[in-house]
Amino acid sequence: MTLIPKKARMLGIFIVILLLSCNTVYAKPAQKNRQYYEERGEIVWEVPTQDKIIALTFDDGPDPVQTPEILALLQQYEAKATFFVLGKWAEKFPQLVMQEQQEGHEVANHTYAHTYAVRSTGADTYIRDMDDAEKSILGAGVARPMLFRPPGGYYNDMVIQAAKQKGYTIVLWSWHQDTRDWASPGVTTIANKVLKNVRNGDIVLFHDKVEGKSQTVQALARILPQLKQEGYRFVTVSELLAVKAKEAAKNGVSSSKVHP
């Protein structure tokens, strides 16, 4: 009779050990998806807000032809934008980078030579490219950029750590606002992508340097007056982040949830 309780105890201990082992073996690691990085404040895709504001962004410039045309349109419609410039072009066309800042736009870092963060890209190489771009931007006489966009939207833990080390906020774009203007899909396609999907706090992806004939300027000529008529304002990414931070403070939400 005394063996039964002992067996029961041994069985209980075995079950506990088994359950603990199962939890250890099958415990899922943190899934590093968009939600993971957004919650940690490490990457910004968009900034939902109550205000009718959006941020237009332009990558890969400046270009001696396309950038001035875009700047003229932005000025015509009292629109501010953020230019993620490549260091090699900032070095070649510093006057355009200066013009962007002088006209109230934001200048941001997009690496020196459009370096993708692939598995073979070392941290030293990537950080050096970020540094070279920053030097070119500063050499154009504008303020040190605070925002960084990895070329192609490629990011990994190395990119995130590099940006933190340099004091940058990583900014991508709203998934529903990738115009793919670099592929020249047609003026109407580019315009409709923005106009039919617009939401408060969107970050829209354009390019102010497109190989061949760009359709971006013509598309902007349709987008800007239409959205302005609908009551939207066009702000820089930093202004968008600041508006959201104010809303969060008003609602008692930690600013770390809004701005890295």
Q: Report the catalytic residues.
A: 59, 207
Give the whole-angstrom CA distance, residue 16 versus residue 188. 64
Give the whole-angstrom CA distance, residue 242 versus residue 232. 17
Give the whole-angstrom CA distance, residue 257 versus residue 260. 7
Cβ burial of 248 (10 Å; 0-12, 13-18, 19+) is middle
Packing angle, helices 66-76 and 216-229, rounded to 10: 10
CB 160 within 8 A of CB 43: yes
Give the whole-angstrom CA distance, residue 115 versus residue 164. 18
